[in-house]
Structure formats: C-alpha cells, structure tokens
C-alpha cells in the first residue's frame, strides 16, 4: 500500500465504524450476504483480506474458535488496531500480495474461506495476486470477492466518479482471472437501497470515506462538494448501492 493510501486509512481508522453508524441495516445485510454465500463451517480457517476494523465479521466469528481464529489481514496497523479484542481473531498486518506470495505467514497450512470486501481494486497485479491466493486454499476452499461496479450511481462529483471508474476492475474481469486460476466462479449482482440526509452525505465525502477521495486535494474536494450541493438541492438523497458478489470455489465444490 502506497504512502498516500496508508495515510488515508490511518486518518480513517478512528471514525470508520461511525461512518456506517447511520446504516446498521446495511452492515447486517452485507454480513448476511457474505456468510450465506461462503457457507462457513465450524473449525474452518477463515481469512478476511482488507478486514479493516472487523466491521463485517459478526456473521463469521461464530464459526471461528481460539484454535482456528479468523485471520484479519490488512496493511494498515491503525485499522487493525481497532479490531475487537477477541481470541477468535488473529490480526495479520500484510498486503494481499504478501499473503499470495507466502511472504506473510499464515497461522495455518491452508485457508478454507477467504473474503475480500471492497479491496480488490487495491491489488497491484490482479492476475498474479488472485492466482497466489487460490494456491493458499484448501481442497474445499472458496473465495468471495465483494466489489463495486466501475460505474457508480452515488451522488458524487463527476471527477470522483470518473477517477473511480478508471481504477475499478470490472467484475467479469475478476471472475475470468479466478477461472484462469482453476476455480469455478459465479457472479451475482445485488443492491441495497440507500436513503441519507444530504448534509450527512456531504460530511462523509468531506471526510474522504472512499479511498478515491483521498486522491483529490483539499481545493479539488471543496469544488466537488459544491458540485454535489448544486446538483442535489434535495435534503434527502436516495440511490442504490450495487455490489458484485464473485464466488470462486476449488474443484467446483
């Protein structure tokens, strides 16, 4: 993770959970969707790449034990420092690339369940990293990648929407990469309806809650906030938060 991104997540760590405080239903919806698709079993080795503060772990922790904890992988020490103090959680400060190449040591020989939520766009080399992660799976292992589509319907300023699209891999491209790694892969699109007070939304944008927003200067962000306010005079913003759920399984299990 480059210095700019490291700084972004260091700044975000203390407020990350509060960012989602207005959307507890979304947190539950996402956690349910992850658990349902991965179908973990008690005692399986689970890893979450880009785990951050562990906000979406609540449906996976019941399947973990002190002997087989959830491995929470994140390059940001600040984010990992906000993880719950739970013996069923094993923090691991590392990038996905370090995990894929074996440079980051896992507490197990192989992973049964691997979730990557909204982190795949940070991978420096999508093909090599996903192939390496596939190699870390057990014979019954599966990977779930949750990612946003390149084209967002968020009420953001145009420069942010364009920059996000430029850096976001297409879900089918991710799926094709996993298939080349020898995994049976499916893609499902699901969405969660969002309704949020405009002033709160503007505060989220001003706080750079999305990593793409950290690439704009203060002046550029101020102009972007003005653009949003002009385009959305309504006090209540409504839009669909759309996600691709890409499930890849070893041996087609």
Say if 188 falls within a structural domain.
yes
Instruction: Write out the residue range of the structural domain in which residue 152 sits.
Output: 3-194+239-250
Q: Does residue 48 fall inside a structural domain?
A: yes
- How many residues in total does the chain contain? 253
pLDDT computed for residue 166 by the predictor: 95
How many Å apart are CA 51 and CA 71, to the nearest integer?
A: 9
Report if residue 162 sits inside a domain.
yes
Cα-Cα-Cα-Cα dihedral sign, residues 39, 43, 48, 54 = positive
pTM passes above 0.85: yes
| Interval 16-37: pLDDT, tens | 545 555 578 999 999 999 999 9
**Model confidence over 118-144: pLDDT tens digits?**
999 989 899 999 999 999 999 999 999
Q: Which of 107-111, 220-224, 248-252 has the lowest mean pLDDT?
A: 248-252
Residue 145 lies in a domain: yes
Average pLDDT score over residue span 34-59: 94
Candidates 6, 31, 4, 12; CA nearest to 208 is 12
pLDDT given for residue 139 in this prediction: 95
**Inter-residue contact 246 to 147 (CB < 8 Å):** yes
Residue 8: what pLDDT? 43
* Beta carbons of 196 and 189 less than 8 angstroms apart: no
Name the domain count of the chain.
Answer: 1
Which is more confidently placed, 21 or 216?
Answer: 216
Percent of the chain with pLDDT over 90: 79
* pLDDT value of residue 14: 52
Q: Give me the pLDDT at residue 242, please.
A: 96
pLDDT per residue as tens digits for the range 165-214: 999 999 999 999 999 999 999 999 999 999 999 999 999 999 898 889 99
Indicate if the pLDDT at residue 52 is higher than 80.
yes
Q: What is the pLDDT at residue 243? A: 97
Q: Is residue 212 part of a domain?
A: no
103 in any annotated domain: yes
Residue 13: band (very low, low, confident or very high) from pLDDT cuts 50, 70, 90: very low
Model confidence pLDDT, tens digit, residues 80-107: 999 999 999 999 999 999 999 999 999 9
Here the CATH number for the domain that contains residue 184 is 3.40.50.150
Instruction: Report pLDDT for 4.
Output: 54
The answer to the question of residue 97 being in a domain is yes
């Amino acid at each position: 993770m480059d210095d700019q991104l490291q700084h972004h997540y260091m700044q975000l760590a203390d407020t990350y959970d509060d960012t989602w405080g207005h959307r507890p239903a979304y947190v539950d919806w996402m956690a349910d969707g992850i658990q349902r698709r991965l179908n973990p079993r008690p005692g399986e080795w689970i890893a979450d790449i880009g785990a951050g503060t562990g906000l979406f772990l609540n449906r996976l922790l019941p399947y973990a034990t002190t002997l087989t904890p959830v491995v929470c992988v994140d390059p940001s020490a600040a984010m990992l420092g906000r993880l719950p103090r739970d013996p069923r959680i094993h923090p691991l400060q590392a990038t996905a690339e370090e995990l894929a190449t074996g440079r980051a040591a896992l507490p197990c020989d192989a992973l049964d369940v691997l979730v990557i939520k909204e982190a795949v766009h940070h991978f420096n080399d999508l093909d090599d990293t996903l192939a390496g992660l596939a190699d870390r799976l057990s014979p019954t292992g599966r990977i779930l990648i949750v990612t946003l589509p390149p084209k967002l319907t968020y009420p953001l300023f145009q420069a942010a929407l364009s920059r996000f699209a430029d850096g976001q891999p297409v879900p089918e491209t991710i799926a094709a990469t996993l298939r080349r790694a020898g995994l049976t892969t499916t893609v499902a699109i699901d969405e969660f309806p969002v309704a949020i007070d405009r002033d709160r939304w503007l505060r989220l944008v001003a706080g750079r809650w999305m990593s793409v927003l950290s690439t704009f200067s203060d002046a550029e962000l101020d102009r972007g906030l003005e653009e949003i306010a002009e385009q959305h005079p309504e006090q209540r913003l409504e839009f669909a938060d759309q996600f691709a759920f890409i499930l890849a399984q070893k041996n087609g299990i």
